[in-house]
Chain A
Amino acid sequence: MRASSLVEQLKGGLDAPICLTWELTYACNLACVHCLSSSGRRDPAELSTTEAMTVLDELAALQVFYINIGGGEPMIRRDFFDLVSYAVDVGIGVKFSTNGTFIDPQAARRLAAMDYLDVQISIDGLDAATNDAVRGAGSYAVARRAMDNLAGAGFGPFKISVVVTRENVAQLDGFKALADSYGAQLRVTRLRPSGRAVDSWASLHPTAEQQRLLYAWLLSNGQDVLTGDSFFHLNALGDPLPGLNLCGAGRVVCLIDPVGDVYACPFVIHDEFKAGNVRDAGGFGAVWRGSELFRSLREPDAAGACSSCGSYVACQGGCMAAKFFTGLPLDGPDPECVRGGGLEGLAVVDPATVPRPAIDHSKPVRLTRKPVVTAI
């Protein structure tokens, strides 16, 4: 029996996720312009503590190795520490992403005392001007204070997560230095036009020239910097970036949202990519195994309009979330296709047909000052 090709095995989907993202709440004290979950207000149908623990029991039985907790701001939930402790107790590692507001010295000590737990602080600029333009007034100071508190509590290496935008590409070396100064690990991830970012993506996403700079930077720094495997669309520029370079949505990972809906990934919170709900009979396992959406995602990729392009093997047509929320067909080029393949399609997209999040949990006051979409 031959040893299996790793990538082919993962593309065909696993019997259980390796890890998954779990957005605990849509509530958030910030209103970042690019929030992929359009968070702000808690959804009244949020999973209860008991329901959440039932899901954790199920994930443990499936041997999901760890969960990536986010939101909204997960620490807003009153049962945050209860859920995190419970996850670890049933054998699930926890990595969670936060804006840092609730990491005061006491919380930092509490986190430092927990094992099998990783923390990631979100920051999108090296200074308040750059960061707060995206994440809101005061958010830079809050993030830095959280980092100081984690360091002061002896938490050990934490992660700093940056969404790469047009405004901060020039600061990449600085972000690396910032992470180094704390003994922390840097993660940079791709901005997708998901959630609230559907409005700001056009002006915030890196230019083609900046993408080339980013690619070169990742090649030089990739061994020390995490990327969430989110830049494989840049592989068409040359040597592949470190990492698996594979879209794991519905195959290796997925999202559970605050009301128990299961989506292919956190960047496609939309009915088109909803696989089911953990409250349905059979729970999460039944959704992961039996969902028609996931079954189709586990079929071999069709290159479609990219089939004549020599770069398809490297870039795999890019990110389905990026295509979906810019109104591009899923079987064609990514909007940021490094060969410009997406430009023609973008030019003819009718803005009225571009998908929008079905439910928006944004709070009424938004930095963009656009009309508010009220949740039903």
Chain B
Amino acid sequence: MDDPTELVVADEVADESADDVEEELLIEEISIDGMCGVY
């Protein structure tokens, strides 16, 4: 009989990388305000 845990582990690995992208913000607004460049 196939070990069901093997299949579960494989699925988790595949989902993990997709989740990484989904959960992370794909854009970020930043304000550098010249970063000490304007005085």
User: Is B38 at the interface (CB under 8 A from chain A)?
Assistant: yes
Measured between beta carbons, the chain A residues less than 8 angstroms from B37 are 19-21, 68, 228, 248, 253, 255, 265-266
User: Is B26 at the interface (CB under 8 A from chain A)?
Assistant: yes
Residue in contact with A3 in the complex, picked from B21, B30, B38, B39, CB distance below 8 Å:
B21
B31 x A68 contact (CB < 8 A): no
Residue in contact with B35 in the complex, picked from A1, A2, A6, A252, CB distance below 8 Å:
A252
User: Is B9 at the interface (CB under 8 A from chain A)?
Assistant: no
Measured between beta carbons, the chain A residues less than 8 angstroms from B31 are 242-244
Distance in angstroms between the alpha carbons of A255 and B35 in the assembled complex: 11
B36 x A253 contact (CB < 8 A): yes
User: Is A267 at the interface (CB under 8 A from chain B)?
Assistant: yes
Measured between beta carbons, the chain A residues less than 8 angstroms from B39 are 21, 36, 70, 97, 161, 163, 189, 228, 266-267
B35 x A253 contact (CB < 8 A): yes
A265 x B30 contact (CB < 8 A): no
A19 x B21 contact (CB < 8 A): no
User: Is A27 at the interface (CB under 8 A from chain B)?
Assistant: no
Distance in angstroms between the alpha carbons of A276 and B34 in the assembled complex: 21
Query: Which residues of A8-42 are within 8 A (CB) of B?
Result: 18-21, 36
B32 x A19 contact (CB < 8 A): yes
B32 x A252 contact (CB < 8 A): yes
Distance in angstroms between the alpha carbons of A40 and B33 in the assembled complex: 27
Query: Which residues of A45-101 are within 8 A (CB) of B?
Result: 68, 70, 95, 97
User: Is A230 at the interface (CB under 8 A from chain B)?
Assistant: yes
Q: Can you list, as one digit per residue, whether each of B1-39 has a CB less than 8 Å from chain A (1) or not (0)?
A: 000000000000000000011001110101111111111
Distance in angstroms between the alpha carbons of A70 and B25 in the assembled complex: 36
Measured between beta carbons, the chain A residues less than 8 angstroms from B24 are 2-3
Distance in angstroms between the alpha carbons of A97 and B38 in the assembled complex: 7
Measured between beta carbons, the chain A residues less than 8 angstroms from B21 are 1-3
Which B residue's beta carbon lies closest to that of A2? B20
Which B residue's beta carbon lies closest to that of A122? B39
Distance in angstroms between the alpha carbons of A265 and B35 in the assembled complex: 9
- Knowing A3-B21, A6-B28, the reply to whether A227 touches B38 (Cβ < 8 A) is no
Query: Which residues of A171-225 are within 8 A (CB) of B?
Result: 187, 189-190
User: Is A229 at the interface (CB under 8 A from chain B)?
Assistant: yes
B29–chain A nearest beta-carbon distance, Å = 10
- Given A21-B34, A97-B38, A229-B36, 18 other A-B residues pairs in contact with their CB atoms under 8 A: A2-B21, A18-B35, A19-B35, A21-B38, A36-B39, A68-B37, A97-B39, A120-B38, A189-B39, A228-B38, A230-B36, A243-B32, A247-B36, A252-B32, A253-B34, A265-B36, A266-B36, A267-B36
* A-B contact list, 28 entries, CB within 8 Å: A1-B21, A3-B25, A18-B35, A36-B39, A68-B34, A68-B37, A68-B38, A70-B38, A70-B39, A97-B38, A97-B39, A163-B39, A187-B33, A189-B36, A190-B36, A226-B33, A228-B38, A229-B33, A229-B36, A243-B33, A244-B30, A248-B36, A248-B37, A249-B36, A253-B32, A255-B37, A265-B37, A267-B36
Which A residues are closer than 8 A to B by beta carbons? 1-3, 6, 18-21, 36, 68, 70, 95, 97, 120, 161, 163, 187, 189-190, 226-230, 242-244, 246-249, 252-253, 255, 265-267
